[in-house]
Amino acid sequence: MRQLAESDAPRHYWHLGDEDGRAWLFESVEGDNGEQWAIRQVEVGADRGARRYWWRHLQDEYGFLTDQPLEVWELTEITPEMFEAVWEAAG
């Protein structure tokens, strides 16, 4: 994960929300098979509490950085600025 995160590969940014008011935001890079792998992730709960995951903080008692390729057809692409704003607010 760290190798992908520190690579010069182009980044993509994604959002997924659910009917309960929760949201997931991802920064991803393309892996060897053309799949998108999350290198940073923010989870926002229905209570608006947010948690961040990346190679330096892979998991905690609430969740973890996804270890599977992203299913991008289920996600909405967002701007890097949108992702960074939520990432910083969650920190």
Its domain, for residue 55, covers 2-90
The two most distant CA atoms of the chain are separated, in Å, by 37
Residues 10-54 pLDDT 10s: 999 999 999 999 999 999 999 888 999 999 999 999 888 999 999
Q: Which amino acid is it at 44?
A: V
| Residues ≥6 apart with Cβ < 8 Å to 30 | 9, 10, 12, 36, 37
Inter-residue contact 44 to 90 (CB < 8 Å):
yes
pLDDT at position 12: 98
The answer, yes or no, to whether residue 91 has pLDDT greater than 90, is no
Residues 51-80 pLDDT 10s: 999 999 999 999 999 999 999 999 999 999
Please state, as a whole number, how many other Cβ atoms lie within 10 Å of the Cβ of residue 73: 5
**pLDDT bucket at 4, cuts 50 / 70 / 90:** confident
Question: Rounded to an integer, what distance in angstroms lies between the CA atom of residue 49 and that of residue 7?
Answer: 30
Count of domains observed in the chain: 1
**pLDDT bucket at 3, cuts 50 / 70 / 90:** confident
